[in-house]
Structure 1
Amino acid sequence: MPVPKDDFDELLPCDFPTPEKLLEPDQMYTLYEIARLMQGLDADAALEESTEAVLLDWAIPWIVYNGDDLVIAEPQSDDEPGYYGVKNAE
């Protein structure tokens, strides 16, 4: 159910970094790594499962929104996630 804006103490701008600013051009990242990087964490930072789920709520729309600027690679094995990277990386 929607919540009135007045119910919140602070409203922040929804400013996300571009793929070029978030990702190294010669690297590929999993969704989980991107979620961590978006929060200023190391890509391999240990997180509780509940925290990781919240971060994914931000990372999934970021990937969809920036899809035109990203490339995708298949998982390296059946039990791993896929990878994303900056499209114009050479």
Structure 2
Amino acid sequence: MPRPREEFEDLRSFEFRDPEEVLEDDYLYTVYEIARLLQGVDPDREMDAETEAILLDWAIPWMLDNSEAFVFAEPDAEDEPGYYGLQ
């Protein structure tokens, strides 16, 4: 349900970083690792499923919006995520 604006003390500009600011050229990452990096979290850090889902809610639209900057590599197995890196 929407909340009145005055209930919030801290309103910030909505900005996303460019892929080159988040990822290193020589590596490929899973979408889960990219989601962590976007939030400034170590890509190897373990997270609970609920927190990871929230991070993915931010990462997936960002990746779609910047799709021209990415390449894709197939996963090692069908039940594993694929890998993404800079074009």
Percent same amino acid at aligned positions? 53
How far apart are 1:36 and its partner, in Å? 0.5
Matched letter for residue 58 of structure 1: W
Q: How many residues align?
A: 87
Question: Separation in 1 of the partners of 2:69 and 2:3?
Answer: 33
Q: Deviations over 1:33-90 (max 9, x none)?
A: 0010011111111111111111111001110011011111111111111111000xxx
Matched letter for residue 16 of structure 1: F
Please say if 1:67 is aligned against 2:67: yes
Question: Separation in 2 of the partners of 1:66 and 1:4?
Answer: 32
5+ long unaligned stretches in structure 2: none
Matched letter for residue 9 of structure 1: E
Alignment of 1:38-77 (within 5 A): 38-77=38-77
Question: Separation in 1 of the partners of 2:20 and 2:40?
Answer: 15
> What's the Cα RMSD here?
1.3
Please say if 1:21 is aligned against 2:21: yes
